[in-house]
Structure 1
Amino acid sequence: MSVSPEQRLDQLWARGREFLGTRYAILGGAMSWVSERNLVSAISNAGGFGVIACGSMSPDLLHAEIVATKVLTDKPFGVNLITMHPDLDRLIDVCLELNVTHVVLAGGLPSGAAIKKVKDGGAKVICFAPALVLAKRLVRSGADALVIEGSEAGGHIGPVSTSVLAQEILPHITEIPVFVAGGIGRGETIVNYLELGAAGVQLGTRLVCATESIAHENFKQAFIRASARDAMPTVQIDPRFPVIPVRAITNKGTQEFMETQRKVIEKFNAGELDQNAAQLEIEHYWAGALKRAVIDGDVEGGSLMAGQIVGMVKREQPMAEIFAELMEQAYASLDVRER
C-alpha cells in the first residue's frame, strides 16, 4: 500500500523528530548576533528546533537570553556553546540550571569531560564532525547526535563539501542521529539527505531573512541581492600566517582584509613585527565585524557571513512561511518519486 508524501517524510525523519521533540527535524544554525531569542523562538514555534548562539556571551548574558527565549516559546530549543570559551564549564552549568534539553558543542573537538558534564546534567549533547574518524571518536565519547557541515555553509568552514561528507559519514554512523548542514536551501535537498540516512538537517542562511530575525534591514537586503558566487571564503595569502576560511558575501571589507594581510606581511618581512604580533593583527581585523553588519547595518565594512544558498533567499518571510515552502517542495519531490 502506497503512503502519502506527508507520511513518507514523517517516516524519513522520525528519528530526528523524536530526538529533537519537534514537528520538523530541522535545526536552526547557531549564527552569532542573529540566533538570539527572537529568531530562536520563531524557529521553534514554527515547528523546527531553534538554537541560541552563545558565542562570546558571559554566563550572565546567556542566562538572560535563555530565560527571555523561554518567555517567547514553550517549544524545545537548544544552546550552542563554543568549546574554546574560557567559561565553558560555567556556561554548561547555566544551561543545566535552566533545564536546556540540548547543548551543541561547537568550534573545535569537545573534551570527553565537557560531553560528560552535559550528559550527567540530563541534557543531550550534539557535536560537529568534520570527518569520519572524528565522528567515530565523538560517538565513543558519548555524543548523542552529530552535525556534519560542508564547505558550502556560511561562516567558519572546513574544506570538504556537504555532499562528500554525507557519503563519507552517513553510511558508517548509524548508532546516533546525524544531521546534515551546509548548502541546503530547498525541500528536495532535505529529502535527498534523509534518504541517504540523515536524521534531519540544519539550516542557517535560509533563515536569516525571516521576518522575526533582528538582523538589520541592510544585512537582509545584502542577502536578498546576493547570488551563490558572491558568498566566497576568505583567502589566505601567506602560509606562514594561517587564516581560518570564513564564507561571506564579498564586500569592501573583504578587499581591505586582503590589503591588511599584505601590509602586515610586509612589516613582518621588514622585521617591524614578530610572528605572533603579525598573526594577531591579521586575526583582529574581523573583530566585531559581524556585529557591525548584523546589528548596525554596515554592509560595506562588516562581515556578511552567508552560505552559498544565499542566492535562493529572495525576500523576507515569516518563519512559518519558510517552513511551509520547504515542506511543499519536499512533498512534491516525494510525490514524484512515489509514482
Structure 2
Amino acid sequence: MNRISTLFGIQYPIIQAGMIWASGWRLASAVSNAGGLGLIGAGSMYPEVLKHHIQRCKAATNKPFGVNVPLLYPDIEQLMNIIVEEKVPIVFTSAGNPKTWTPVLKAAGIKVVHVVSSSAFAQKSEAAGVDAVVAEGFEAGGHNGREETTSMVLIPAVCEKVQIPVIAAGGIASGKAMAAAFALGASGVQVGSRFVATPEASSHINFKQAVINAKEGDTMLSLKKLTPVRLIKNPFYEAIKIAEDKGADPATLQTLLGRARAKTGMFEGNLDEGELEIGQVSALIHDIKPAAEVVADIWTEFQTVRRQLYLEIF
C-alpha cells in the first residue's frame, strides 16, 4: 500500500484540507466515508464547538478522520485537551512550532502531520517527531508561506530533505494534479478549494458561487505584513491593497482587517465586506458537487493519467 494510505488507514491518499468556515463534521465525514481522509477545521471553532463537531463526525463515520489545528490559536491548550479526550486519531498542525505539541499528541497515540512552506521547516518538523509533512505551495488558498515557493518547486525540494512521507498541497483539485504531485515525490495530496465547492462544506452558497465563478488572476496573496493569505479580489481586498500600496504598517492593516472578516465573507456570504480565502486552482473549479464524487473523480482521473503516461513512455 501507499505510505500515506498505510499511515492513516485509508483507501485513497487524498486528504481534505481543514479549512476555516468550510470544514465541519459533514464535510470531514463525507470525505472519510468516500475513502479519503476528512479533516475538521478547528481554526474557526471555539473549544466546545470543536468538541461537538468531533462527536458528530464520530457518529457519521467509522473511518479515520482528523482535526486541523493552527498552533497560534489562542485557546490551543483547550483544543488539544479536547482532541486527546475525544481520542481523535490524526491531527494536522500549522502556523506554529511543531515541537510544542507533537510530543503531547504522540504520547496520546495520535498521528501528527505539520504543514510547511519550505524544506527547512520540513526538516524541523521531522526533527520534532511528526509522522508526515504537508508541503503547501504558493498557489494554496488561505494562509500561505512568505517564501512564495510554488508547488512544482516546493514538493521535490521537501522530498529531498526528509525521510518521512510528504503530502502535496497547493493547486491540486484533479487527478492530473495528483499525478504530477506523485511524479515530484509526494505520497499523498491535500485538497482544499475543490472541497469548498461541495454541498457538505459549511461555507455560504454565495462564497461557493464566487469560487466556481473565479477566473485566472482573480486571487492574490495579501496581508504579508501580518499573516499572508490568498484572497479572491473584492472590495475588501481592494481596500487592503490600497493601504499596502501606501505603505501601511501592520497595526493599520490589522485595523482594516478588523474582527470576523473571514466569517463575514465565507460563512455569512457577504462578498463585498468579507475576507474570501481560496486557492488559485479555483479558476479550474466550475461546479458544486458532492464530496464523495470529488474523491472518486480525483482517484479515477489519477489512475487514468498514470496508465496514459506509462503507455506514452513505454
Give, in whole Å, the separation in 2 of the partners of 1:332 and 1:169: 27
Structure 1 position 56, deviation (Å) = 5.0
Which of structure 1's runs of 4+ aligned residues deviate more than 6 A?
A: none
- Name which of 231, 238, 244 aligns with 1:255: 238
Give, in whole Å, the separation in 2 of the partners of 1:330 and 1:315: 19
1:262-282, Cα deviation, whole Å (9 max, x unpaired): 7894xxxxxxxxxxxx63341
Retained in 2: the 8 A contact 1:264–1:282? Answer: no
Structure 1 position 328, deviation (Å) = 2.5
Give, in whole Å, the separation in 1 of the partners of 2:186 and 2:29: 24
- Name which of 146, 164, 170 aligns with 2:153: 164
Give, in whole Å, the separation in 2 of the partners of 1:327 and 1:261: 41
Instruction: Report the secondary structure of 1:306's partner residue.
Output: coil
CA 1:123/1:300 → structure 2, altered by over 3 Å: closer, same or farther?
same
- Name which of 162, 176, 181 aligns with 1:173: 162
1:47-105, Cα deviation, whole Å (9 max, x unpaired): 11111111153322221121122122221111111212233233212111111001111
TM-score by length of structure 2 reads: 0.92
Number of equivalenced pairs: 308
Structure 2: 5+ residue stretches without partners = none
Correspondence for 1:104: 92
Correspondence for 1:20: 8
Retained in 2: the 8 A contact 1:89–1:114? Answer: no
- Name which of 113, 134, 143 aligns with 1:126: 113
1:236-291, Cα deviation, whole Å (9 max, x unpaired): 6xxxxx243211110111112234557894xxxxxxxxxxxx63341243331111
1:168-189, Cα deviation, whole Å (9 max, x unpaired): 1113322x21101001122022
Structure 1 position 136, deviation (Å) = 1.6
Q: Do structure 1's residue 282 and structure 2's residue 253 form an aligned pair?
A: yes
Instruction: Report the secondary structure of 2:160's partner residue.
Output: coil
Percent of aligned pairs sharing the same letter: 33
Correspondence for 2:128: 141
Instruction: Report the secondary structure of 1:81's partner residue.
Output: strand
TM-score by length of structure 1 reads: 0.86
Correspondence for 1:55: 43
Larger radius of gyration between Structure 1 and Structure 2? 1
Correspondence for 2:278: 306
Matches of residues 257-272 of structure 1 in structure 2 within 5 Å?
257-260=240-243, 265=248
Retained in 2: the 8 A contact 1:145–1:178? Answer: yes
Give, in whole Å, the separation in 2 of the partners of 1:332 and 1:243: 42
The root-mean-square deviation of aligned C-alpha atoms, in Å, is 1.8
CA 1:115/1:262 → structure 2, altered by over 3 Å: closer, same or farther?
same
Structure 1 position 133, deviation (Å) = 2.1
Structure 1: 5+ residue stretches without partners = 1-10, 237-241, 266-277
Instruction: Report the secondary structure of 2:101's partner residue.
Output: helix
Retained in 2: the 8 A contact 1:290–1:303? Answer: yes
Give, in whole Å, the separation in 2 of the partners of 1:76 and 1:96: 15
Retained in 1: the 8 A contact 2:21–2:44? Answer: no
CA 1:59/1:217 → structure 2, altered by over 3 Å: closer, same or farther?
closer
Retained in 1: the 8 A contact 2:94–2:116? Answer: no
Give, in whole Å, the separation in 2 of the partners of 1:322 and 1:86: 33
